[in-house]
Amino acid sequence: MCVKRILGADKGQVRMFEAVIAAIIIFSVFSASIFLMYPSRTWVLHEKEDLDRLGYNILHSLIETDAIEYVLTESGGNAAYKLKMLIEEIISPSIYYNLTIFKCEDNGGVVTLRSNFNVSNISPDEFGRLPEKSSTMAIYTSRSGENGGETYYIILVLAKGR
């Protein structure tokens, strides 16, 4: 009778050991599945979202403070320089930008875009090599010009420095 009790106790210990091993396997499978479900580069996704938000905030700020209007009506070569200074006051030095303003022209029912000017703090080659970029666009109608205003298409591309 004593031998049966000892063998029965061993069976209970083996069952506990099996339960612990099963729990470890289940925990490992769930951990691996969670790791595989989420992208490994979540910091890049958050960085792009932050750049998108910053781009919209910059364009909104430039339009609401009439800085774009002032720059578009400015004659001479100072317009691009002043716009560059305004943008560089808003963003941090680790963020690169390229702002292009196109003038929309109506040519017999066909709208064409003519580049008005371009402002950037990095060369196009270096800008192209940056891994993550965010593009923000706005359509702006000026107060001055023919027929009550001219229409401009503004594109701001932002990239985080390495």
Tokens representing residue 133 in the block? 């970029």
Domain co-membership, 68 together with 142 = yes
Domain co-membership, 136 together with 77 = yes
Strand 133-141 and strand 110-120: the pairing is: unpaired
Residue whose structure tokens are 């941090």: 92
Domain co-membership, 47 together with 104 = yes
Work out the burial of residue 73: count CB atoms within 10 Å of its CB; fewer than 13 is exposed, 13-18 middle, 19 or more buried. middle
Domain co-membership, 17 together with 94 = no
Q: Phi and psi dihedrals of 153, rounded to 5?
A: -110, 115
Domain co-membership, 92 together with 34 = no
pTM: 0.66
The number of folded domains in the chain is 2
The per-residue pLDDT string of the chain (162 residues; one tens digit each, 9 = 90 and over) reads 555 555 555 667 888 899 999 999 999 998 888 777 765 554 445 678 888 898 999 999 888 988 888 888 776 667 778 888 888 888 888 889 999 988 888 888 788 887 778 888 888 888 888 878 889 999 998 877 655 678 889 999 998 876
Tokens representing residue 142 in the block? 């000026």
Domain co-membership, 78 together with 115 = yes
